Structure formats: structure tokens, C-alpha cells
Amino acid sequence: MASFQAPPSEPKPETPLSSISLTSFILKLGTPWADGTASISQCAINPGETFVYRFKVDRPGTYFYHGHYGMQRSAGLYGSLIVDVADGEKEPFHYDGEFNLLLSDWWHQNVHDQEVSLSSNPFRWIGEPQSILINGRGQFNCSMAAKFSNATVSQCKFRGNEQCAPQILHVRPNKIYRLRIASSTALASLNLAIAGHKMVVVEADGNYVQPFEVNDLDIYSGESYSVLLRTDQIPSKNYWISIGVRGREPKTPQALTILNYFPTSASKLPTSQPPITPPWNDYNHSKAFTKSIFALMGSLKPPKNHDRRIILLNTQTKVNGFTKWSINNISLTLPSTPYLGSIKFGLNHAFDQKSPPDNYDSKNYDIFNPALNPNSSYGNGIYTINFNTTVDVVLQNANALAKDVSEIHPWHLHGHDFWVLGYGEGKFRDEDEKKFNLKNPPLRNTAVIFPYGWTALRFVADNPGVWAFHCHIEPHLHMGMGVVFAEGVHRVGQIPKAALACGLTGNKQN
Ligand SMILES: [Cu+2]
């Protein structure tokens, strides 16, 4: 995603980046200033400054952290954050070893130029990434599997640990390995497969799921999974691990690495073609995977009822001729004073006090066609949620500006997990509520909406603070695709000075 869109008064994209903030996906109960969202939970960190994130790590799981200012995540500011189970506790599954795969996508154009392109009129799209990276490593202009490729691309000749050589997964036969897989991509939705092996999915976004077996795994930006891999194939061979693009016409080669069985040499390449990614627009394949994810038996169940329902229409729009993404016809721009401080100190002129709408004109809006009136406006108003109430959010997808285009959007919520109650096709209707899964919905922090469909989420507003909820695709967030929730801010304790040292809170001591 990109930046949270800088409002017009903020530094222009061509200004050298002057601050970073980091976010991990841990809930940070009681420390909302440690969430890392510039302009929302804290001031951006200036060059030479230090900001200490101190929060309670209250749950095991697979997470990652990344910059949340400008398009810094896309520029490479990210890393894994793995939380082990507490001493004396056990995971609900056994494994003999583990690997950590943090996936991302990479462009040769720098992010400043990308931000300028995306903010220009006429709009200039950044295009597809040149490479998919595994733990920051990827290939360009050569392929590990050139001889199986139709294109004229040369064979990579890595001998050792060169910069672009892939990280090889060395395994022993007849063991079980846990693969922790997370996606920090700026754009690409991915699919991962291991030749000759099935995987058992056991964790999603730091929550255990009912184990299920797959041949390949879809992963969207912002998500994380753990899968168990049994090394039960012939150990005299090595096997491809391949990662390809989903949901967009792929112009990016598959990322490849090798599962290397002991005692076979790691330099012995597999003799067959790498697994082929399912066709990019085979949405039924993606939906089948997504809909097989359920909470592990015995997991926390959602409240039976909701107190408030917010329906968020996802559309591509124009604001003063500029191409934007809008939610209920408002394209998010962020204020120069972070919300957390301005709400806590009652600074009513720090941002628009009018809340954005809880719904769109669902009776008259045709989600299957470009908007009749594509014009929307900028806004920085927020949704104020009553503390400890239960909120349903229905994300409604629609047609973008071009005819017959509706994209995948992975939505990520800060500060909470939500239950994913259901997915549907077309326009959400009140009676769809009857089909919600209240029995074993998965708890997650990121959920996808499919083209022309809806996704229903439920969360309890029990974490005092101000929380971003946004599409995790970097350019989409940069173009305004997000909203902000605030709950129980008067309960927030002393906010560290460094989180307040900008804008209208610059001189506040609390
Ligand atoms: Cu999006």
C-alpha cells in the first residue's frame, strides 16, 4: 500500500523521505501509539530521530513489520516478526524444523517516481513488478528453470550465495517442517506451490485454523500462513518451490527456489518443470481456497449479534480529475496531526469532525458498471465506534473506472482481529446475514474481497485507540483506499512524547 496518502499540505512525493514508522501486526492492546501508523497513531519519525516501539507480545504467531509512511514498504522497509509460544506451552501441531518465507514484489523504478506517477493527472500506473522476491532475493534476466521456459531467457548460474541466488530450503527426509509464509507485496497476489508435495494449512494471521490440505496456497498482501510440509518424496531429487501472480494478468516471472533433500547436492536442479500457477483469473480456485479456512475447533467464537453495521463501497473515482480509490465516495487523506493525540486532547479542528457515511446508495448504485458519476471528494473524517460494541463491516466490491474491471483488494485492520463471517457474489443484501458463519469463522487481520463480491467481517471494539483499516495494496492506499476507526480514546493512558511531537500536538505534554 502505499502511503497513506499525504494531504496536499504535506511534503510532495519528490521530497526525500523524511520519516518512517513501523507497524507489526500484533494487537498492541493498551499501547495504541506503538501501532506505527504515521498521522494516525503517531508522528512520523524524522531523519536522525529514534522511536521505541514497546508493546506486549501477547500471542504466538507469524507476523511482519513494515514502514507505514509513503511507499516505504514497497521500497524494502519490512521484516519478519515471529512470536514463539510461551515457555511451557505447546503449539497444537508437531514439527521438526521451520523455515520463514517473507514474500514481496520488486520494481526497478524507485518509489518516489512511482508516487509521482500515481499522483499525476493524467494518471500513470506503475505497472507490474519486475521480480517476486523471497526473503528479499529474486532473479531478473535469468531463470533457475530456463530450459523449461518458452521465453528466451538464460539459465541463472549461481554458484553460491550471490546476492540474487535464492535461499534454498535444506531438509531431511521423512520429517515435518513448518513453513511460515507472509506477504508484504506492494501489489501482487501470490500463489505458492511445491512440486510433488502437499501442504497442510495450520495458521492464518497469527490464529490457528482447522488443518486442511492443499496443493497450492494463495496469499494476499498483508496475510501470513503456516503450513506443514512432510518430506516424504524421493530424497535423491530436489523439488521446485514456485510462486506466481494471481488476480492480475501476470507480466512477472514466477519466483523459484529449491527444496533440497539431504544428502542430495543443492546444486542438482529438478528435472521437471516447476509447478504452474493457476490461471491468473481463475477466481473459483482462489475462492475455494479462501472458503476452506475455518477456526481451529475450540477457538473463540464471535458475539451472536452486532451493534452496528458499516457497509463500505470500494470504488475507483476521480477527485478534481485525479484518479483515486474511494470508500463510500470518500478518498482518504491523512491530517498533519495524528488522530490519537488530537482526539485525546480534544483538538476539534485537527480533522473533519463529520463522520463518513455507514452505507452507500445501495438501492441505486450499480456495482457491475463504472459509476455514473465518477466524481468523489477527499476526506479525513473517521468512524467513531462505541467502546466494547460489536461492529460488522461489509466490504462491497464494485466496478472500477474502466468497464469490466473489478480488482482484488486485501483489507487489513490494525489493532484487532476480526471474524470473517462470509463472502458473497454481487451486492450484499440484508438477508445475506442469515448465511453468516457464526459457528467457526476464522479470526484474521486481513481479508480479501473478490471482484464484484462482498466480504463480511465482525470485530469487538475493545482496544482503545485509533486504527487504520485499509487495502493493503500499496498504490491503492496511496490513492485513498482506507478508513479510520476510533474507539475508547479517553481510556488511553499517557502517550509517549515522541508520538505527539508534530502538528497541533507538538507542544502537548500529557
Ligand atoms: Cu486495493
Instruction: Verify that 286 and 312 share a domain, yes or no.
Output: no
Kindly indicate the confidence band of residue 236, based on its pLDDT and cuts at 50, 70 and 90. Answer: very high
Instruction: Verify that 357 and 234 share a domain, yes or no.
Output: no
**163 alpha carbon – ligand 1 mean position (Å):** 31
Which amino acid is it at 267? S
Cell of 217: 496456497
Instruction: Verify that 180 and 251 share a domain, yes or no.
Output: yes
Instruction: Verify that 442 and 312 share a domain, yes or no.
Output: yes
Last residue of one domain, picked from the residues 290, 325, 349: 290
Report the pLDDT value the prediction gives residue 252, as an integer from 0 to 100.
95
**366 alpha carbon – ligand 1 mean position (Å):** 19
**477 alpha carbon – ligand 1 mean position (Å):** 7
Instruction: Verify that 265 and 316 share a domain, yes or no.
Output: no
Please tell me the total count of domains within the chain.
Answer: 2
Q: Are strands 330-332 and 377-379 parallel, antiparallel or unpaired?
A: parallel
pLDDT above 50 (res 13): no
Report the pLDDT value the prediction gives residue 21, as an integer from 0 to 100.
56
Strand order from edge to edge, sheet including 238-246: 169-171, 255-261, 238-246, 189-194, 216-219
Instruction: Verify that 338 and 207 share a domain, yes or no.
Output: no
**187 alpha carbon – ligand 1 mean position (Å):** 8
Instruction: Verify that 250 and 347 share a domain, yes or no.
Output: no
Instruction: Verify that 142 and 282 share a domain, yes or no.
Output: yes
- pTM value > 0.85: yes
Instruction: Verify that 354 and 393 share a domain, yes or no.
Output: yes
pLDDT above 80 (res 97): yes
Contact 503, 336 (CB under 8 A): yes
**126 alpha carbon – ligand 1 mean position (Å):** 14
Which amino acid is it at 228? L
Instruction: Verify that 418 and 451 share a domain, yes or no.
Output: yes
Cell 492506499 belongs to 477
Instruction: Find the CATH number of the domain harbouring 116.
Output: 2.60.40.420
Burial-class residue 210 by CB neighbours within 10 Å (0-12, 13-18, 19+): middle
Instruction: Verify that 279 and 327 share a domain, yes or no.
Output: no
Report the pLDDT value the prediction gives residue 224, as an integer from 0 to 100.
97
Kindly indicate the confidence band of residue 250, based on its pLDDT and cuts at 50, 70 and 90. Answer: confident
CA distance 473 to 221: 7
CA distance 434 to 436: 6
**421 alpha carbon – ligand 1 mean position (Å):** 20
- Is 296 domain-assigned? no
Cell of 326: 474511494
In the structure, ligand 1 is a single-atom ion and the residues with CB under 5 Å from it are: 409, 471, 473, 476
Nearest to 306 by CA among 443, 461, 449: 461
**481 alpha carbon – ligand 1 mean position (Å):** 7
Instruction: Verify that 346 and 284 share a domain, yes or no.
Output: no
**485 alpha carbon – ligand 1 mean position (Å):** 18
What is the span of the domain harbouring residue 159?
A: 97-290
